[in-house]
Amino acid sequence: MATFRKGRRKRNVREVPEEAHRINQKIRAPQVRVISDTGEQLGVLDTRKAVSIAEERELDLVEVSPNTDPPVCKLMDYGKFKYKAQKKEAEAKKKRSETSVKELRIRYRTDVGDLETKLKKARDFLEEGDKVKFSMRFRGREIVYLDLGLEKFEEIIEDLKDVAEVDERSPARGRQIYIVLAPLKAGTKKKVAQDSAEG
């Protein structure tokens, strides 16, 4: 019976997440170097005095560099600071998940007109920040034309080299092969444009 109660009590304990920074009375150092909320250096102060200044200004004293001697603390609205940090992280996460892979299927014998249409689509996707996967399937005896398929991929890579780079490619065997192209980073794009102009 006692064991059951103990188990229940354990389940009900809520773990409080630890703060990323020490704030106010949780700062352990006796003295701290203080920066005001406007960026002004207030110098090295007794920690209790610094907390008192923060309270007067209706702010928090936040330890931003705990490993210096003395630690550096900043006066700020910690709630607002945490909210901004969380918002920034959420936006970065959203941005990462927005990158999708658009698939375009082609054949080793796709004609010039059809290929041009696919390349135009791929270019649009890449310029919007998406990755593009070109896939090719060989049916039955078509597998003997694998080399033609690989050549077609090389043509695509060459044609889109001003906006994309190879992110991934399948092994050059099997009935299905593919390449994944990723948008060029701004710096790389500039260099490619320069090289083309010089060439």
Q: Which of 26-40, 47-61, 170-184, 185-199 has the lowest mean pLDDT?
A: 185-199
Asked if CATH classification 1.10.3720.10 holds for the domain at 19-78, the reply, yes or no, is no
Q: Is the pLDDT of residue 14 over 80?
A: no
Give the residue from 160, 158, 181, 159 showing the smallest Cα distance to 169. 181
The pLDDT confidence band at residue 85, using thresholds 50, 70 and 90, is confident
Structure token pair of residue 105:
């299927």
Q: What is the rounded average pLDDT of the residues 3-15?
A: 47
Instruction: Give the separation between CA 159 and CA 192, rounded to whole angstroms.
Output: 12
What is the model's pLDDT at position 171?
Answer: 86
Domain 19-78 matches domain 99-194 at the CATH topology level: no
Give residue-wise pLDDT tens across range 126-158.
999 999 999 999 998 998 999 999 999 999 999
Q: What is the rounded average pLDDT of the residues 30-42?
A: 93
Taking every pair of Cα atoms in the chain, the longest distance, rounded to a whole number of angstroms, is 84
| Mean pLDDT of the residues in the chain | 84
DSSP type of residue 15? P
Structure token pair of residue 92:
């970065």
Structure token pair of residue 96:
């990462």
Residue 181 φ/ψ region, left for φ over 0, alpha for ψ in the -120 to 50 degree band, beta for the rest = beta
Q: Is the pLDDT of residue 2 over 80?
A: no
Q: Where are the domains of the chain?
A: 19-78, 99-194
Q: What is the rounded average pLDDT of the residues 183-192?
A: 65
Q: What is the rounded average pLDDT of the residues 103-111?
A: 92
Instruction: Give the separation between CA 136 and CA 160, rounded to whole angstroms.
Output: 18
- Within 50-124, strands assigned E span 60-65, 72-76, 101-105
Q: What is the CATH number of domain 99-194?
A: 3.30.110.10
What is the model's pLDDT at position 196?
Answer: 53
